[in-house]
Structure 1
Amino acid sequence: MAEPTPADPVEYVAVVDEPGPGAPEVETFTATSEADLEAQIDELEAEGTVVAVEPEQPVAALVDADPRSAEQWGLTNSAFSTAWTNGFDGTGVRIAILDTGVQAAHEDLAGKVVQGIDYYAGSSGDPAGDSDYGRVDANGHGTHVAGIAAAGDNAVGGLGGAPGATIVPVRVLGAGGSGSSSDVSSGIIWAADPTKGNADVINLSLGGSSCSSSQQAAVDYAESQGVVVVAAAGNDDVNVPIYPAGFEGEVIAVGSTTSANAKSSFSNYGTPFVDIGAPGSAILSSYKDSPGQPPNGAYLVKSGTSMATPYTAAAVALLLQHCPAITNGSAAGGSVADKVLATLQATASPEIAGLGASLVQAGALTTVTCPT
């Protein structure tokens, strides 16, 4: 842990589990000395159990730029239309998008984005304020991710993997696509809290190199609430975990594939880190307002494990609609995340050479015998 000095104060993040029911709280504070740090931790311990304390850490959206247009091949390769034909479109499932915000007025997302929360504005003074509750996006990344997951079946633009699902926007990244571990941790806890975000699935198309104890505590809370967390495996073409995807057993780590069902050149890889593959190269989706495109009608092709992750979140939404007992407590044995991951992997195909995982298959998820 970094040692603060008066000349070089350090910002810290703590997760505090206060007495009584309810979600843990994420606290941030600045310390100017080791004694100051210890004193502030003592104050927090007077409020409740301090689950984690660490220096603030950076996180960023995980995109690999790609100018090629390939339309929506991912829906075909992962057989989403089969799931729709089987009667499953994600209706009743809430997907939290922790990202740069979501442009709620976009033609492909209109009426699908409920009130969320903006943690980034509160911590940074960013001009896109928290009065918009996460429903603005100055970067475009979150809007792109949301469209892949759940763009509506409305005869305009594209189509999301779970077009009937509800989008819960949680803004934790700014216009530059970066943010802090404390905002991500706060966002995970808020999204998983049944009295607040009430999410069934949390999409994290972001990450950083450090193993954050505050994010670990937040993911632990999400798991305790039966919320499925999916996260991008990273775009460095290495067999090295990034976080939060690297929290093995609690987060489903998603690698990226191409239209030829091959490993995307940029995707991180390796067993046991990468749990599942999903389409992530040259993906067309909704985007923020852009020059030359109509207001609330912009689209862009982007690549990255950031794009593969919402395809997986959509597939999870279809599975949860098909097998609601996974989350309502009537299915026994193992966590919700364990059951969902086992089902994803059992139905995935083909195996993607060099990725360490197979391709998610949404259609098969809607005919599988539900886990018990």
Structure 2
Amino acid sequence: MNHLQVKFSTLTLVFVHVLYVKTTENVIQPDLMKKIQKEGSTNIIVTFKFRTNDTISRFVQETKSTSNRVEKITKLSDELQKLATSTQKQVLDFVNTERGKPKYCILWITNQLTIRNASFDLVNKIAAVSDVLEIRETRILLGMPTSNVSNSNDSMSNNLKPHPDFPSVKHWAALQVKAPDAWEQGYDGTGVTIGIIDSGVRLTHDCLYDAYVGLENNGWFDPERKSDSPRDDLGHGTSCLSLAVGQFGLGVAPGSKWMACLMYDSNLGWMEDYALQCFQFMICPTDHEGNNKDCSKSPRVINNSWSYGSDEDDSNMRMIIPIFEALDILLVFSAGNAGTACGSVSAPGSYKEFLGVGGSTIDDFYWGGSGAGPSRTDGSIKPDLVAPGSFIFIANNARQGEYVTADGTSFSSPIVAGVIALMLQKNPRLTKDEIKEILYKSCDRLAVSHVPCGNVSNDLYPNNRVGYGRISAIKAINNTP
């Protein structure tokens, strides 16, 4: 009898469990269910039914007459955090009582919750909460790998054309966009901070160290380890940043400061949830542990040399557009290295709200590796403009004084971010839209030998190969009121 009773009890438990999963299957995404049943745990993002749209819309109406930037950023971040706290309470109670205490972060920017190594049981408990809309696995993004890296420090020697007034300039790209001419007028980015979301930064590199805003100014956030000093295991962020603020004639805005957030997971890759945490950090910078936010430290321009793959769901990025529009923060993205095929420009650089930057060559041609438009997202002409992106001299992460050459629109984007810093030094009151309009008027035309895209001739500007053309720093300064 006892043996039969045990069997019956086991069958009953299994039956109840199947019913429990059945009631939540519309909340838990099928791919997540398969993986977590197989592996026992995984990284998840929980999306709640209460979206941020109403909060943002109300904020825009209430702050129409508010001119204080810090006050506006603080108000919106407080409102979004309040929404997240109120709607996520029940789920957070489950997480905080979970065995092993999994790491989590409230993504108030999208009213989501990211949880690392969530168990099967925890996922099912969360799915039963009425305020939960969806649970899915955290995505690993495409990122933005570089190509054709050369370790020869003197490989640029035959291509250097020293500026007569700045013989220390060692990078043809800075010369081509006429950055030294802007420096000569007194505009080197002094007083402007450039944000970068990437694989991190090697703080000790000689061309970057002095430009760091410092930990005391909320200059660094590492979602993975909460490290108290900038690091870069991959090297990508170090190289990109050197084109914006690098010393020794390398960066376009050598007088600017930088702050950084790491979105690269040492074991997996470019993480979606880390990117969202980084955007939160850039809106209201915190200390390295994620506390003590200070919205006055928020940068006006943020470089993003990464992208989604063509087949990836970028809905989360579309959700944050209204926030950056409302706060007047300009996001600069690389156009991607997908090549010459029409429509190959990568998201989020393909969004009309963001500035998408393609690549050009040392001979002032469209670089064939650069993603072309039109945008698959909204049909707009992309990229917006181009900057040097082939055979680029960059800081190397391997050693603190090493430099290499490489290809990629990853390097085009920070050049434009640097030009924006020059403009903001001259006129800090420029709005995001004004900056974009000035940039569009500040481009030089360049040769395009590839077929036109989107029924727009390459002889017309903007077009879907080079947008408005190759940026000119001195034109941007002269066009800035």
TM-score after normalising by structure 1:
0.81
d(CA) in 1 for partners of 2:207, 2:274 = 27
d(CA) in 1 for partners of 2:268, 2:404 = 16
RMSD over aligned Cα atoms? 2.9
Q: How many residues are aligned here?
A: 336
Instruction: Tell me the percent identity.
Output: 23
Residues 345 and 53 (structure 1), Cα distance of their counterparts in 2 relative to 1, 3 Å cut? farther
Counterparts of residues 86-125 of structure 1 (less than 5 Å): 86-114=185-213, 115=215, 116-121=219-224
Per-residue Cα deviation, 1:316-369 (whole angstroms, up to 9, x for no partner) = 111122222214xxxxxxxx1x32222111110114524232001111111114
Stretches (4+) displaced over 6 A: none
Q: CA deviation at 1:158?
A: 4.5
Residues 39 and 352 (structure 1), Cα distance of their counterparts in 2 relative to 1, 3 Å cut? farther
Local SS of the residue matching 1:268: coil
Q: CA deviation at 1:83?
A: 0.9
Counterparts of residues 99-178 of structure 1 (less than 5 Å): 99-114=198-213, 115=215, 116-121=219-224, 129-133=225-229, 135-152=230-247, 157-175=248-266, 178=269
What residue ranges of structure 2 are gaps of 5+ in the alignment? 1-27, 37-41, 60-74, 81-107, 157-169, 286-293, 375-380, 451-464
Local SS of the residue matching 2:200: coil
Match of 1:77 in 2: 176
The structure where strand makes up a greater share of residues is: 1
2:372 maps to amino acid: Y
The answer to whether structure 1 residue 313 and structure 2 residue 417 are counterparts is yes
Match of 1:56 in 2: 138
Please identify the structure whose Cα radius of gyration is greater: 2
1:261 maps to amino acid: D
What residue ranges of structure 1 are gaps of 5+ in the alignment? 46-51, 122-128, 291-295, 328-335
Q: Which moved more, 1:188-197 or 1:100-109?
A: 188-197
The answer to whether structure 1 residue 323 and structure 2 residue 427 are counterparts is yes
Q: CA deviation at 1:159?
A: 2.5
Could you tell me whether the CA contact under 8 Å between 2:195 and 2:259 is conserved in 1?
yes
d(CA) in 2 for partners of 1:94, 1:177 = 30
Match of 1:28 in 2: 114
Q: Which structure carries more relative contact order (alpha carbon 8 Å, separation 6+)?
A: 1
Match of 2:326 in 1: 224
Per-residue Cα deviation, 1:12-57 (whole angstroms, up to 9, x for no partner) = 25486497934241521458599766545715x8xxxxxx986532
d(CA) in 2 for partners of 1:264, 1:27 = 40
d(CA) in 1 for partners of 2:418, 2:401 = 22
Counterparts of residues 124-273 of structure 1 (less than 5 Å): 129-133=225-229, 135-152=230-247, 157-175=248-266, 178-193=269-284, 195-196=294-295, 197-209=297-309, 210-237=312-339, 238=341, 239-248=343-352, 250-271=353-374, 272-273=381-382
Match of 1:282 in 2: 391
Could you tell me whether the CA contact under 8 Å between 2:426 and 2:480 is conserved in 1?
no
Could you tell me whether the CA contact under 8 Å between 1:192 and 1:200 is conserved in 2?
no
d(CA) in 2 for partners of 1:182, 1:200 = 22
Match of 2:470 in 1: 359
The structure where helix makes up a greater share of residues is: 2
Match of 1:126 in 2: none
d(CA) in 2 for partners of 1:41, 1:366 = 54
2:476 maps to amino acid: L
Q: CA deviation at 1:8?
A: 2.4
Residues 224 and 280 (structure 1), Cα distance of their counterparts in 2 relative to 1, 3 Å cut? same
TM-score after normalising by structure 2:
0.63
d(CA) in 2 for partners of 1:364, 1:168 = 27
- 2:402 corresponds, among 268, 292, 298, to 298
